[in-house]
Amino acid sequence: MLSFSEAQTEPTRHVRDANRAVRSALPFDDTRDFAAADRGFIAGPADDIVRSADGTTVWDNGSFSFLHGECPPTVNPSLWRQSQLNMRQGLYFVADGVYQLRGFDLSVMTVIEGDIGIVVVDPLNSTETAAAALALYRHHRGDRVVTGLIYTHSHIDHFGGTFGVTTAEDVQSGHCRVVAPVGFAEHAVSENVYAGAAMARRAQYMYGASLPRGPKSSVGAGLGQAVSTGVKGFVQPTTDITVTGQRETIDGVEFEFQVTPGTEAPAEMNFYLPAVRALCIAENATHNLHNVLTLRGALVRDARVWSRYLTESITLFGQRSDVLFASHHWPTWGRGQIVEFLSLQRDLYGYLHDQTLRMISHGMVAAEIAEAIELPPALQTWANRGYYGSVNHNVKAIYQRYMGWFDGNPAHLWEHPQEESAKRHVRAMGGAASALRTAKSAYDEGDYRWASQVANYVIFAEPSNESARRLQAASFEQLAYSTENATWRNFYLSGAYELRHGTFAAPASLQSAAMLSALTVEQTFDAVAVRLDGKRAWNTHVTSDWMITDAPEQSERVELRNGTLVHYRRAGVGGLLAPDATIALTRTALGALLLGGADPAGLRKRGALTVTGDWAALKKLTEVLDRSVPDFAIVTP
């Protein structure tokens, strides 16, 4: 956990006034969410802290205990309220045989009791937190074996803790069935490998996992309090859910599924438990506005499709459900309340989509639409507020999905990159001192957006300018203190920290041995292709055959030429020229060698790698692979 060695700024009168206005405008006397969040509470854990095998803290819910107090002027009161709801921790009863473990990670783990054992839904982000949550359940409900595992969608906080609740051996032997939406495995591993390093770096900012906890720092992430930092795991599903209406019985429990691809995740599904009239809505409806494009980076989601699948959920399950639960936040009880909750979420995404497209047709660009759009009063409920996603950045994401990065103005078609542009801006403002006077004046007037923009020009023109860094950090803090959005707050505070203290330590890698071994051979070579240093490989031409000893049908021909890696299946392709080398190894060794940094000589010595032909062919390939930079600069050049 980071600590601040330099004093942070105090909230200015502009921020205090803004937060008082929020307090006056919103119905804080409405406590129904607090009653729902506390309903069914059985017990909390004996210890708020979850540790790894070596004693490292990977989760500390108690670090948010300050939230029990009154909201300070350094936090938007609406965000403070959301964080108070999210910090609740323990085992909760949801319906007969259905329990949830909340407050152990960003996400929520659900346990469904079957005839023999239990079915675990979405085993959190880390092995350690999943194990701790399951231990609390077993302490109060008995030491039941895990007979089934359900992944509702392809984000790591819903499968990373797999090995905290089951083992690869139990899955392979059939003792634990693993059910997921079709396409889950492809999207789960690709998201964490192809652009995984950059996403992990930005996720540091988004979730604030490394930030201190406190009224001037992280108060949560909106969707949950934070992400745990333990070991990640993964197993391939044994059953794919391919169509809406598909029914499966797991350990005597009947499930009815609804597939919802392209909503909150590329592969996602809801399910219904007819025996207890309970609907799991996965992450398609939560107690906040979600992201159409997450700030850590991802594929842009389809708000139109998202809205339509929620209509389908209402139609299929609304009148049959007495309780709705999700993989974040707390449940909703009562048929009328469930239909209303889903309808308001449905209308929210539909409104943002349709109004963005309408304004595009008037020639407005993303930033203009984001400033102009207003939600109808009926949609401004607590559950629709922008604690995680925001109206502002979701509108920009919808614009991006349809129109791309270019707004049509030729002046924006070929702008200078940040550093060169900054130098010219600062020069046009009369130099750094003059620019900083402009930024300081904006700060004093409460225009922190302009203050941070101008200070940013100076920093990118003169990276060592300490006055600009301090002013930028102060501007970020004022923006953080007043924003309702938890991820914006974490971004601002992370940026302020790095301006004052330097970059964080490198984030924990998502590319564990378990994740790498889950890649198909094709995905492995796709991941290698994006790590190729194209310029260094311009003049390298090498052809190799990769024989996968434990999956011969996946063996690949790989060609490196013109700075591009091309690969294709060897099977069924006639007339291939002889390769420079034939490399035989297992799938696990393949990932370890090309993505995990394993020494080829060491693998060869252990008998895990055999090379026939030119050994140098392997070296030619590996020596032009680039290494990602896990702690690259964000707020400085």
Q: Distance between CA atoms of 275 and 452, rounded to whole angstroms?
A: 55
- What is this structure's pTM? 0.95
Q: What letter would DSSP give residue 163?
A: G
Q: Distance between CA atoms of 210 and 232, rounded to whole angstroms?
A: 18
Token readout for 358 is 């309408």
Averaged pLDDT of the chain: 94
Intra-chain end-to-end CA distance of the chain, in Å: 25
For residue 91, list its beta bridge partners.
Answer: 43, 101
Mean pLDDT of 91-119: 98
Evaluated on CA atoms 607, 608, 614, 618, the torsion sign reads negative
Specify whether the CB–CB gap between 89 and 45 falls below 8 A: yes
Mean pLDDT of 434-449: 98
Q: Among 413, 492, 425, which residue's Cα sits nearest to residue 460?
A: 425
- Judge whether residue 512 has pLDDT over 70: no
Contacting residues for 50 by C-beta, under 8 A, at least 6 apart: 57, 58, 59, 60, 104, 128, 129, 132, 228, 230
pLDDT digits (tens, 9 = 90+) for 564-602: 999 998 776 666 788 999 999 998 899 889 988 888 888
pLDDT digits (tens, 9 = 90+) for 182-201: 999 889 877 778 888 889 89
Mean pLDDT of 533-558: 93
Mean pLDDT of 321-349: 98
